[in-house]
Every structure is written in structure tokens, then in C-alpha cells.
Amino acid sequence: MRFETRAIHDGQNPDQATGAVVVPVYQSSTYQQQAVGQHKGYEYSRTGNPTRQALEVALASLEEAKFGLAFASGVAATTAVFSLFKKGDHIIAGDDMYGGTYRLLEQVFKKWGLGVSYADVDKLQSFEKAVTNKTKLIWIETPTNPLLKIINIEKVAKIAHKKNALLVVDNTFASPYFQKPLPLGADIVVHSTTKYIAGHSDIIGGAIVVNDEKLYNDLKFYQNSAGAVPGPWDCWLALRGIKTLAVRMRAHEENAIYLAGYLSKHAKVSNVYYPGLKSGKNYALAREQMKGFSGMFSFELKGGRAAVRRLFANLKIFSLAESLGGVESLISYPAGMTHASMPEEERLKRGITDSLVRVSVGIENRIDLKQALAAALALV
Ligand SMILES: *Cc1c(COP(=O)(O)O)cnc(C)c1O
């Protein structure tokens, strides 16, 4: 079956006991056993819960994978992946990535003896150069944050596999509707389901999706042992979000194309970073490995910090907030928010200037969004 149908039905059969067409919230920590060790598949909700199970099947289905695992947050899912390794193992990560992943590597896993190096996401050779005989994992995010660069998944997978290392793709920005890294050669897909998958800015959640059974068993062992599982209510909300993922993603993309196009011609804007702009350097590769361009873009405003401050002070509809992927439009300032803790020199080297603004385009009416931007830009 096709994406839209699977999103609504996979893992979500009507409830056997009652016929309820929606998977119930099984708000129970434990399960009655008929005799010691005799039960209906569930013993304790850290190990397994029927609402979570439904979500895990649905997540695997979205990525056309065999196995899904749900976590309490995207960062908890990321932690589970890094925990597969031991002291002395080496990880390579792309240098344009989610700040929380960087923090986890630098401030948590390095302490435990994991070696970490960073590759320039603009140069495939830099991944190749970073490989050592201890390299066990390459971690990339594509499109990247906040500059929306596109990394060639197939080519990085080849670099990883040549050394028997795993490739992980954080697929949060694209969502499985627009990009499926596993068929392109990735071994593990990670999501912050907080973003597009749940899609309504109302939960924190994470996911891992894999095809390999051994990898699944190792990660499932970790999930149960470390215990960062989502509660049944959050799983239910994520499942509810998944049902409309396809229609939401189409609407996010349509609005993003419209607004990125508008801003790219605006006199007060110097650059727009959106993989869906035909003039951009990422367009061809995005067309090749993605089904669409998603709903995130960033742009540079002429006039630096002062201009950005005036824009934010006068902008209606768009909320100034971190996070992304919800139905409401959000705007944020990487230099002062997500990347504020990065030394200025490092930040500028990565292209995150004082003029850069990031937008998570919601699914409001696009004319209203354009008029809000136009009105605020007139006052910059
Ligand atoms: C938000 C985010 C994460 C972390 O997820 P949480 O749900 O906030 O823990 C990881 N990767 C990307 C790309 C994100 O946007």
C-alpha cells in the first residue's frame, strides 16, 4: 500500500476487544498474567505497551522499514544509537547538525571514551578523510540545520560501508514523506517525532527505525534497559499526527516554496537557503534523493542584528520560538538561540551570521503569511 494509506492503517487495526477504530491509550503500567510467564505479550510498560507498539509499527511503515522503536525524545533516540558503541570506538558527524546532538557527543559521550570528529558537509572527501580503523559510525542530518544543505546519502553510505561502519541519518527535517534514507543505503534512521511526525507542537518524542534484526535487538535491549520510553498518551498523540503527515507535509512544502520564492526577490533580503529554490546549489541533489523539499528555510536580512530585531518586533502570525514542524509558523534566530553557545568565530565560519533567520513554515493560509512578512519587512 501507499504512504497515505499505511500512515492511517499500519499498526492501527481496530481494537480487538471493543472494535474501537482508534488505538486506545493503554494507560497501564503492568499486565495480568494467567500463570507465571503466561501473558498476552505485555508484562510491564517500560518493556512494551500496546499504544507504543502501534506507534512503533507505524513508524517502521513510514520509513518502509522492518522495525521501529519509540523513545521519550529525539535526544533519547540519539543516545540509544551512540550507546551501541564502547570506549575507543570512533564516530564521524557532519558539522552542520542539531546542537543537542553536538552537545551529547562533546559533553556526554567523549567523557566515556568515544572518539568524535566532524566532517565538512559540503565536501564528501572530508568524510572519507575522517575515517580511521576505529570508525564505527557516520552520523548525518540532511537537510542540515540551519542552512538547509543537502548531503548525498548514497555516497556517504558507501564511504561508511567500505569500512564496515554504520550510516545514521537524522531524517527530522525532511520527514519520511519526503525522504527515505534506508533504501538509499542508511542503516539507521533517527527522528525527533516532536517535529513533523507528531506535527502539532504538543509532545516531545523520538524514534529509531532499522531493517537489520540484530541492530533492532541491540537497540530494543537498550530501550528497555535505559528506560527512556514515551508514555502511552504521547504515543497516541504521535499516532494521531502520523495519520495526517502526508497532507500536512504537502501543505508545509507548498507554503515554503511560495514564501522562499517571495523572499528571494525581496530587496531587504540578501540570501534565501531553501533546497526547493531552483537557483540554489542544493536543488539538483534534493530533487534526486528527496520527493519534495519540506517546510524549512532560512534567510539573511540586510542590516544584521538590528534589522532582525525590528523584523521580529513587527512580525505577526509567526511565533518567535525554537522547534519546528508544527502546523503553526515559527521563526527563530540561530545566532542568538539554537547556536548561541557556539563561539562566534566558529559560528561565522559555519555561515551562521548575525543576519540569519530560520523559518518553520506552518500550514496557515500562504497569503496571510506573505502579508505578515511583507508588513514586518516594510518596517525593517
Ligand atoms: C529537535 C531535534 C532533535 C532532538 O529532538 P528532541 O525531541 O528535542 O529531543 C534532533 N534532531 C533534529 C534535527 C531536531 O530538529
CB of 170 shorter than 6 A to ligand 1: yes
CB of 195 shorter than 6 A to ligand 1: yes
Interval 146-181: pLDDT, tens: 999 999 999 999 999 999 999 999 999 999 999 999
Q: Which three cell numbers stand for residue 214?
A: 540484530
Out of 104, 139, 172, mutate this one to test ligand 1's pocket (max ligand atoms within 8 Å of CB): namely 172
Q: What's the pLDDT score for residue 171?
A: 98
Q: How far apart are CA 327 and CA 325, in angstroms?
A: 7
Q: What's the pLDDT score for residue 99?
A: 86
CB of 68 shorter than 6 A to ligand 1: no
Distance, CA 75 to ligand 1 centroid (Å)?
Answer: 6
Q: Count how many residues are written for the chain.
A: 380
Residues 6 or more apart whose Cβ sits within 8 Å of residue 133: 163
Interval 89-102: pLDDT, tens: 999 999 888 889 99
DSSP class of residue 111 equals G
C-beta contacts of 44-50 below 8 A and 24+ residues apart: 45/229, 45/232, 46/224, 46/227, 46/229, 47/224, 49/229, 49/232, 49/235, 50/23, 50/24, 50/26
CATH 3.90.1150.10 in the chain, residue ranges = 246-377
Active site residue 195: yes
Q: How far apart are CA 301 and CA 340, in angstroms?
A: 18
Mean pLDDT of 252-267: 98
Distances (CA, A) of 59 to 5, 86, 134, 253, 371: 13, 28, 31, 21, 37
CB of 194 shorter than 6 A to ligand 1: yes
Among 193, 344, 177, smallest CA distance to 253 is for 177
Stated as kind and residue range, the H or E segment containing 167 is strand 166-170
CB of 143 shorter than 6 A to ligand 1: no
For residue 77, the ligand 1 atom closest to its alpha carbon is: 9
One-letter amino acid at 371 equals: Q
CATH among 3.30.70.100, 3.40.50.300, 3.40.640.10, 3.30.479.30 for 3-243 = 3.40.640.10
CB of 141 shorter than 6 A to ligand 1: yes
Mean pLDDT of 315-319: 98
Among 93, 219, 84, smallest CA distance to 156 is for 93
Interval 111-158: pLDDT, tens: 999 999 999 999 999 999 999 999 999 999 999 999 999 999 999 999
Among 243, 137, 132, 258, smallest CA distance to 197 is for 243
Active site residue 278: no
Q: How confident is the model at residue 6 (pLDDT cuts 50, 70, 90)?
A: very high
Q: What's the pLDDT score for residue 97?
A: 86
Residues 6 or more apart whose Cβ sits within 8 Å of residue 73: 192, 194, 204, 205, 206, 228
Active site residue 187: no
Active site residue 96: no
Distance, CA 339 to ligand 1 centroid (Å)?
Answer: 14
Q: Which of 15, 31, 46, 158 is catalytic?
A: 46
Q: What's the pLDDT score for residue 25?
A: 98
CATH 3.90.1150.10 assigned to domain 246-377? The reply is yes
Q: Which three cell numbers stand for residue 164?
A: 564496515
Q: What's the pLDDT score for residue 201?
A: 98
Residue recorded with cell 527535517: 173
Q: What's the pLDDT score for residue 365?
A: 98
Phi, psi of 295 (to 5 degrees): -120, 20
Stated as kind and residue range, the H or E segment containing 348 is helix 344-349
Q: Which of 6, 89, 96, 98 is catalytic?
A: 98
CATH 3.40.640.10 in the chain, residue ranges = 3-243
Distances (CA, A) of 263 to 103, 252, 297, 327: 33, 16, 11, 21
CB of 337 shorter than 6 A to ligand 1: no
Out of 82, 194, 200, 234, mutate this one to test ligand 1's pocket (max ligand atoms within 8 Å of CB): namely 194
Distance, CA 348 to ligand 1 centroid (Å)?
Answer: 23
- Collapsing DSSP states into helix, strand and coil, what is residue 176? helix
Q: How confident is the model at residue 228 (pLDDT cuts 50, 70, 90)?
A: very high
CB of 74 shorter than 6 A to ligand 1: yes
Q: How far apart are CA 346 and CA 300, in angstroms?
A: 18
Q: Answer yes or no: pTM beyond 0.85.
A: yes
Q: CA geometry: angle at 227 spanning 137 and 144, to 5°?
A: 40
Residue recorded with cell 542540515: 144
Q: Which three cell numbers stand for residue 39?
A: 501473558
